[in-house]
Amino acid sequence: MAESPEDAAPAATRCGFVALIGAPNVGKSTLVNALVGSKVTIVSRKVQTTRALIRGIVIENNAQIILVDTPGIFSPKRRLDRAMVSTAWSGAHDADLVCVLLDAKAGIDEEADAILTKAATVAHKKILVLNKIDLVPREKLLALAKAANERLPFEGTFMISALTGDGVDDLRRTLADLVPPGPFHYPEDQMSDAPMRHLAAEITREKIFRQLHQELPYQSTVETDSWTERKDKSVRIEQTIFVERESQRKIVLGKGGATIKSIGADSRKELAEIVGQPVHLFLFVKVRENWSEDPDRYREMGLEFPKE
Ligand SMILES: Nc1nc2c(ncn2[C@@H]2O[C@H](COP(=O)(O)OP(=O)(O)OP(=O)(O)O)[C@@H](O)[C@H]2O)c(=O)[nH]1
């Protein structure tokens, strides 16, 4: 976590880390985007798209809220999955405040049940956030809020729709009140400390997800190799997509390179919007057997490499 001298800001400011904890697909990334008001993490219909901790930063009144968007929590089987889960929980233990998100439509299902049990072991203040209220009648929400509050003590319960923005302002104000007093950790104009290279890799990965619907996306990763600002105010970005097998490389390339071309075009368009300047994107596809067992790839994604 960033350090700044105690006297760097007036005493009236507040600043803290808020971890979002919830089952895959509960809407954490959508909520981060709604709270921050600009796209900082990728959103996909497929589960477990968020692999690393990506923070969004919000200023509300005199408070700086640093959001830690954790990977979805689920029962880990593969090594990569275990890394994601332990990263998620270490985010919760390091934070000043924890938001436990429940999908209002799904209610307390098996996954939510496991999360509530584990959340009870986190010592920090916790807030219950029932998301997707646009999909559920009011009576059901009240019953769910009651059931969850009976499981563990929450500082407050919020019923929101991260998608429509309903209730999000209220939640933001409360988070601002609850983070501890202290100086800002980040410059005020900084929306996300996720390095642009990482965000750029996430965007390309999102396009791979969208275009290749089978098993493949889970066995691929993207790294940004270079990011060069050019004299004509455009930026040249080179990225490598790693897959595990030659057959997968062929799928990513597509017939005559059609698939990779289309992935690149989509990604380039979105990157240009985000950076606000023309982007030249170069994508390479490499086979790296067992990349999901390679500690270096984990470091690139901001994850700890689990020992077993
Ligand atoms: N109807 C409705 N859909 C929502 C809401 N919030 C999120 N969603 C949808 O739920 C899906 C999952 O949202 P994400 O934000 O990617 O979920 P996540 O928890 O970050 O998922 P992981 O990264 O897999 O952990 C997306 O299709 C969102 O559009 C909401 O308030 N209402």
At 91 the pLDDT is 61
Indicate if 165 and 289 belong to the same structural domain.
no
* Domain span at 56: 6-178
Indicate if 10 and 143 belong to the same structural domain.
yes
Spatial separation of the C-alpha atoms in residues 107 and 121, rounded to whole Å: 21
Ligand 1 mean position, distance from CA 256 (Å): 35
- Is residue 183, in this structure, part of any structural domain at all? no
Spatial separation of the C-alpha atoms in residues 83 and 260, rounded to whole Å: 28
Q: What is the CATH number of the domain that holds 242?
A: 3.30.300.20
Ligand 1 atom closest to Cα of 43? Answer: 16
The model's pLDDT over 101-131, given as tens digits with 9 standing for 90+, comes to 999 999 999 889 988 988 888 888 999 999 9
Question: Which residues have CB under 8 Å from 124's CB, separation 6+?
Answer: 92, 93, 95, 96, 97, 98
Spatial separation of the C-alpha atoms in residues 43 and 40, rounded to whole Å: 10
Q: Model pTM?
A: 0.64
ipTM above 0.90, yes or no: yes
The single-letter code of the amino acid at 267 is S
Q: Is 134 annotated as a binding residue?
A: yes
Indicate if 171 and 36 belong to the same structural domain.
yes
The model's pLDDT over 139-176, given as tens digits with 9 standing for 90+, comes to 899 999 999 999 999 999 999 999 999 999 999 999 99
Q: What is the 8-class DSSP label of residue 133?
A: G
Ligand 1 atom closest to Cα of 50? Answer: 23
As beta bridge partners, residue 223 has 240
- Is residue 278, in this structure, part of any structural domain at all? yes
Q: Is 112 annotated as a binding residue?
A: no
Sheet holding 97-103, edge to edge: 54-60, 63-69, 14-21, 97-103, 125-131, 156-159
- Is residue 216, in this structure, part of any structural domain at all? yes
Indicate if 156 and 92 belong to the same structural domain.
yes
Place of tokens 């601002």: 176
- Is residue 237, in this structure, part of any structural domain at all? yes
Out of 147, 178, 209, pick the residue that ends a domain. Answer: 178
Residue 33: band (very low, low, confident or very high) from pLDDT cuts 50, 70, 90: confident
Spatial separation of the C-alpha atoms in residues 119 and 145, rounded to whole Å: 16
How many domains would you assign to the chain?
A: 2
Instruction: Determine the average pLDDT of the residues in 19-35.
Output: 87
Out of 123, 148, 178, pick the residue that ends a domain. Answer: 178
Indicate if 54 and 155 belong to the same structural domain.
yes
